[in-house]
Amino acid sequence: MKIGKTFTFDAAHRLPGKAIYGKCDNLHGHTYILEVTVESDLLRPEGWVMNFTQLKDIVKVNILDVHDHSFLNDFYPLPTAEIMAMDFAETIKRKCPDHITKVTVKLWETPTSYAYSECE
């Protein structure tokens, strides 16, 4: 059984190295879309995987409040969508209740480009 929520946040970054990253070497920003899915083998006695509000609070406190309207290079030496998605999935998994067996993150950097990461 899986549940998911979608969030948005705005942030700026640069990927240092024009030879490798091209125009992304310049300071620029994105409106990121963050899709978070949590999975459990068992439904809780309440009839759910986990409370949507609990999932929202975990993401808000640990991801959105930290990264929204930030300069991502302050957190990551190389703030690619892939590195961020992996970090977000691991962070959310650590904060979830023990019965959550997997956290999946899809981080959209543009309307057509995303990174995907799973943490078990």
- Domain ranges across the chain: 2-119
Q: Which amino acid is located at 33 in the chain?
A: I
Stated pTM of the model: 0.95
Section 93-119 average pLDDT:
97
Q: How high is the pLDDT of residue 46?
A: 84
Q: How high is the pLDDT of residue 10?
A: 98
Going by C-alpha positions, the residue among 38, 40, 93, 102 that lies closest to residue 63 is 93
Range name among 40-49, 69-78, 101-110 with the lowest pLDDT average? 40-49
User: Any idea which residue has 């969508």 for tokens?
Assistant: 81
Rounded Cα distance between 95 and 76, Å, is 20
Q: Tell me the catalytic residues.
A: 24, 69, 109
CATH number of 2-119: 3.30.479.10
Model confidence at 47: pLDDT above 90: no
Q: pLDDT-based confidence at 42, cuts 50/70/90?
A: confident
